[in-house]
């Protein structure tokens, strides 16, 4: 882990510098497009359609806002990945703990993944649990776990008819708040499921998988004194269950 930490620290440093450059310049591009749009629109109305970036301006005026938004979101996502890598190799990292509403956390994760959800399935459901007490933790870290679990489920689907069900609930007996992510995807083979939380173990190497997503998620939940469990059957889907101790006192059985 010490050698890994040294390696990752070097990689983080090398990635952070160009990523900071991209973040600052992506904002400049956004502002430049906003200012020049008025000039381009005036020319379009006066002279008709014209080539812009290799495409008719009538098309580019619709595409560019989406492209720019993606360019702005990309380095932010890279920054989060870098932060997760740093957290992964730091032993005993202290979290900024506070009260976390898991219903709001899951809803935020769903909103952030809305484009991916629409792309992968027509059958996505979120059932919001009632009277779920807050948990004690870091909302951004828990949100990252939920994003990771939902993305894994989305990538496991073979067609848009297959579904994903996300739900929250409260188990008073164990005094745990629960987040469940269930999918109808490809499932995980029996000889593989025991390894999915191992660092750098991935079945998605050809598609760019790093094998860190579930390892980081497992570490985050463990830091929160919680549990991350998986039940799966090859060809039938996977259920991921997050269990987190609640923050409020007096709500559980003695």
* pLDDT, tens digit, 9 for 90 and up, residues 83-109: 766 665 654 444 557 899 999 999 999
Q: pTM for the complete prediction?
A: 0.62
Element (H, E) at 189: none
Taking the domain 98-245, which CATH number applies?
Answer: 3.30.565.10
Cα 157 to chain center, whole Å? 17
All structural domains of the chain with their residue ranges: 2-89, 98-245
Cα separation, 203 vs 192, whole angstroms = 9
Cα separation, 214 vs 108, whole angstroms = 20
Percent of the chain scoring above 70 in pLDDT: 81
For residue 189, the model assigns a pLDDT of 78
- Could you tell me if 240 and 149 are in contact, meaning their C-beta atoms sit under 8 angstroms apart? yes
Residue where the block lists tokens 């938004």: 69
For residue 206, the model assigns a pLDDT of 43
| pLDDT, greater one: 10 or 125 | 125
Task: Give pLDDT tens digits for 149-173.
Answer: 999 999 899 999 999 999 999 999 9
For residue 170, the model assigns a pLDDT of 96
Residue 141 has a CB neighbour count (10 Å cut-off) of 23
């Amino acid at each position: 882990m010490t050698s890994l930490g040294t390696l990752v620290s070097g990689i983080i440093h090398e990635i952070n510098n160009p990523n900071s450059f991209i973040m600052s310049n992506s904002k400049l591009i956004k502002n430049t497009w906003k200012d020049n749009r008025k000039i381009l629109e005036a020319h379009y109305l006066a002279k008709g359609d014209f080539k812009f970036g290799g495409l008719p301006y009538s098309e580019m005026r619709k595409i560019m806002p989406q492209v720019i938004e993606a360019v702005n979101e990309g380095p932010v996502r890279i920054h989060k990945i870098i932060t997760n890598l740093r957290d992964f190799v730091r032993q005993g990292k202290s979290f900024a703990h506070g009260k976390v509403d898991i219903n709001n956390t899951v809803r935020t994760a769903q909103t952030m993944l809305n484009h991916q959800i629409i792309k992968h399935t027509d059958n996505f459901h979120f059932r919001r649990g009632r009277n779920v007490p807050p948990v004690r933790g870091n909302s951004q870290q828990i949100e990252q776990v939920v994003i990771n679990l939902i993305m894994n489920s989305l990538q496991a689907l073979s067609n848009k008819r297959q579904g994903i069900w996300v739900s929250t609930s409260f188990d008073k007996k164990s005094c745990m708040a629960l987040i469940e992510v269930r999918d109808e995807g490809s499932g995980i083979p029996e000889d593989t499921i025991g390894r999915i939380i191992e660092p750098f173990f991935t079945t998605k190497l050809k598609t760019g998988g790093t094998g860190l997503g579930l390892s980081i998620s497992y570490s985050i939940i463990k830091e929160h004194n919680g549990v991350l469990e998986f039940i799966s059957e090859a060809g039938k889907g996977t259920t991921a269950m997050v269990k987190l101790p609640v923050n409020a006192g007096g709500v559980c059985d003695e």
